[in-house]
Amino acid sequence: GNSVTQMEGPVTLSEEAFLTINCTYTATGYPSLFWYVQYPGEGLQLLLKATKADDKGSNKGFEATYRKETTSFHLEKGSVQVSDSAVYFCALSGPGGFKTIFGAGTRLFVKA
Amino acid sequence: NAGVTQTPKFQVLKTGQSMTLQCAQDMNHNSMYWYRQDPGMGLRLIYYSASEGTTDKGEVPNGYNVSRLNKREFSLRLESAAPSQTSVYFCASSEGVGSSYEQYFGPGTRLTVT
């Protein structure tokens, strides 16, 4: 079945550091891939998405590239801010796929 | 534009009690979902409604029932609460079913069963 594996946290970085959160997936067919972010006390919100191989999703300085050859969708940001402290979820949705599969989430702490 | 709203925000129940979690969306979305979030396990789908008038089981439906009251509202009922149902519950909605549709989430209900 479909699954998503993302790196365990927490990840602690200093402000302006480079961020990578790894995400790999297993899926049949050609899923769409998502990164969602959850700020403290809130629900999840979409950060970025990619719907086909080699697509790059980007938003608020975050980027992720859909790599079919390595079944990965790693999240990157060049310079994190304290306000980026949150939990980040990688997710996939298969063809016809209302059943979105979420990873376990990676908590990011950014220190000033 | 309120998006997805959920009530209550917090609830404490004793084992065996029942309760209904309410969810409403004002985005005219066709599809709605209930998830539970437990530490280290991400979000797991409890039930979903692809469109008004339909509901289907997700990954972890045991102990829950749902009602799609109309296009806007989708409620989740715990008939006899158990400590294993202690969790944070999220409602979500999307325009439709399909791999590219974004889901919009409510703020969550934190439920404790003692």
* pLDDT tens figures, A49-82: 999 999 999 999 999 999 999 999 999 999 999 9
Position A95 pLDDT exceeds 80: no
CB-nearest to B108 from A4, A43, A46 is A43
Start-to-end CA distance of chain A, whole Å, equals: 41
Q: What is the pLDDT of residue B100?
A: 76
CB-neighbour burial class of residue A41 (10 A; exposed 0-12, middle 13-18, buried 19+) = exposed
pLDDT in tens, chain B (114 residues): 679 999 999 999 999 999 999 999 999 999 999 999 998 788 999 999 999 999 999 999 999 999 999 999 999 999 999 999 999 999 999 998 776 788 999 999 999 999
Residue A97 has pLDDT above 70, yes or no: no
**Number of CB pairs, chain A paired with chain B, less than 8 A apart:** 65
The minimum CA-CA distance between B90 and chain A, rounded to whole Å, is 7
Mean pLDDT taken over chain A: 92
From CA B29, how far away is CA B48, in angstroms rounded? 13
Are residues B83 and B15 in contact, defined by beta-carbon separation less than 8 angstroms? yes
**Confidence (pLDDT) at B27:** 95
β-bridge pairing A11-14 and A106-111: parallel
Query: Which tokens is A90 given?
Result: 């990688």
Put simply, whether A46 touches B (Cβ < 8 Å) is yes
pLDDT at position B96: 83
Neighbours of A44 (CB within 10 A): 27
Distance of alpha carbon A47 from alpha carbon B102, whole angstroms: 10
Instruction: Return the pLDDT at A96.
Output: 58
Q: Which residues contact residue B84 at a Cβ distance below 8 angstroms, ignoring those fewer than 6 apart?
A: B63, B113
Residues in A touching B103 (Cβ below 8 Å): 44, 46, 100
Residue-by-residue DSSP string for B50-106: SSTT--EE-S--TTEEEEE-SSSBEEEEESS--GGG-EEEEEEEESSSSTTPPPEE-
Q: Which tokens in the block code for residue A12? A: 């602690």
CB contact under 8 A, B105 and A95: no
- Give the tens place of pLDDT for each residue, A12-28: 999 999 999 999 999 88
The predicted-structure confidence for A27-43, as pLDDT tens digits, reads as follows 888 889 999 999 988 88
What six digits make up the tokens of A73?
A: 């969708």
